[in-house]
Structure 1
Amino acid sequence: MKQLVLDLGADQAQSLDSFEVGQNAELAHLMHQFAGRSSREHFAYLWGEASAGKTHLLHALAATPGSRYIRADHPDDFTYAPEVSLYLLDDCGALSADAQIDAFALFNQIREHGAYMVSTGAVPPAVLPVREDLRTRMGWGLIYQIHGLSDDEKIAALTHAADARGLTISASVLPYLLSHFRRDMRSLSTMLDALDQYSLETQRPVTLPLLRDLLQQAASPHHPEDAKP
């Protein structure tokens, strides 16, 4: 169980297929086009609330050949390279003054060489807290708002995932999970994996008492068994 709780925060591979589409069908189709470098538009800017899926999409695209996920604190990441055809810039509103200069230059080079760029932010480009010339470039291509899943959509997606693995869940479990755990789909999906494993280990059905037990243990950074030699 100790290892199970530690795994709740483990990174999981993110893909375009694992992105829960919800109200974002057109955007999801566009991201597949960017993955295949088949989009007629070479620039896209995605904005929306935290946990809506912006970083998920960029990490998924970063797994395609010839892509680069740009780390804002790594100036070399802003350097154009002929072997990179897709650049991915996350959380543009948090760019430092120096990073904004580097991003501006990279946008120009991407356009000059016919490469692709997907960037993201919490707000539309027009109101981003960045220099005006960079704000203009972020609005060059398609602009999409990512709509986060509603609670009903999250429950439906988790229910479908549980059904796919043959996992039976009591009706009260998922609403309680949404109210007492992190609400982004990545964390919720990870918890579903943990519930499945914990249910198998303890030979108990996935009911509200089992979920409460798991949440309580996950919230405790230390367990009595940790202190044993």
Structure 2
Amino acid sequence: MNTPPLPRQFALDLSHTPKASLDNYLPSKDLALLSALQNLCKGWQGNVINQSSNPLNHRWIYWWGPEGSGRTHLLEAMINVAENIGIESFFLNPKEPISWVRLEEKMGALVQSDTPSVIAVDDVDALDERLVGALFRILNGVQASKQIHIFMAGKAAPGNLELREDLRTRLGWGLVFQTQLLDDDEKIQALEQAAKARGLVLSPDVLPWLLNRFYRDMPNLMALIDALDAYSLETKRAVTLPLVRELLQPK
């Protein structure tokens, strides 16, 4: 099915969009991963990290799954938790190579530090040769430390990534999980949860119509919830099916 182009209104100010968190993540079948991350966050918040012995597989987690399965949301959630409680954090992805340089400049100090730090690496499968080398060096630093936590995500299991062998092997040194796409009922539940978090009331026919007529992947559906929220405020109208159709009308 052909999907419509994103309408003009998607460019509206979406600064009020709730930040990614573990609480606003709908896990589908990813309960083991969510539980592991929640336990880590409880340890950070309770300051119960054992500084003399922090096993590598408690600090080193890789998860993989198809686009739209929540990979980036979980990485951002862990960064947001770290920032909220004052833990130094770094978010890396292939599109911002300068952030890798800045982290590598700090790695020596982080390795020697007695306080925790957090690194998140998105789209591991899309790293170029230079960033593959940088991640390899970063992982060596994490292994040598007691307090650096690293969370990584990609589109495939470590052994199936098109990366050099020594990096593929290292990605699997910690815990490995798979993220799953939501089914339609779970998508509706997640979208209802997102709307509620924004104080947005949707008429009952809106979400089923969107799943049948609009994009079916969660990133675009979540973007549409944001756009509906902004457009509803701009027009001072309730979110009904006519408003949705108007928003999606090509300009």
TM bin, normalised by shorter chain, reads 0.7 to 0.9
**Residue in structure 2 matched with residue 22 of structure 1 by the alignment:** 28
Identity among equivalent pairs (%): 36
Decide which moves more: 71-80 or 129-138: 71-80
Match of 1:66 among 61, 83, 88: 88
Match of 2:74 among 45, 49, 57: 57
The whole-number CA distance in structure 2 between the counterparts of 1:31 and 1:135 is 22
Q: Deviations over 1:22-58 (max 9, x none)?
A: 2222211212234445585221110000011111111
Match of 2:151 among 115, 118, 122: 118
Contact 2:14 2:227 in 1 (8 A): no
Aligned length: 216
How far is the alpha carbon of 1:159 from its aligned partner? 3.1
The whole-number CA distance in structure 2 between the counterparts of 1:201 and 1:76 is 42
Change (3 A) 1:166 1:101: closer
Q: Deviations over 1:42-86 (max 9, x none)?
A: 211100000111111111222212221123323414511416622
Q: Deviations over 1:189-211 (max 9, x none)?
A: 44334435544655654332221
The whole-number CA distance in structure 1 between the counterparts of 2:118 and 2:233 is 42
Residue 62 of structure 2 aligns to which amino acid in structure 1? Answer: Y
**Residue in structure 2 matched with residue 142 of structure 1 by the alignment:** 175
Change (3 A) 1:95 1:201: closer
Decide which moves more: 130-139 or 195-204: 195-204
Match of 1:93 among 125, 141, 156: 125
SS of the equivalent of 1:102 reads: helix
The whole-number CA distance in structure 1 between the counterparts of 2:234 and 2:137 is 54
Contact 1:47 1:123 in 2 (8 A): yes
Q: Deviations over 1:151-203 (max 9, x none)?
A: 111112323455674724132x2122124444444543443344355446556
SS of the equivalent of 2:23 reads: coil
Alignment RMSD (CA, Å): 2.9
Decide which moves more: 149-158 or 190-199: 190-199
The whole-number CA distance in structure 2 between the counterparts of 1:183 and 1:67 is 32
- Structure 2 spans left out of the alignment, 5+ residues: 1-6
Change (3 A) 1:166 1:28: same
- Structure 1 spans left out of the alignment, 5+ residues: 221-229
**Residue in structure 1 matched with residue 3 of structure 2 by the alignment:** none
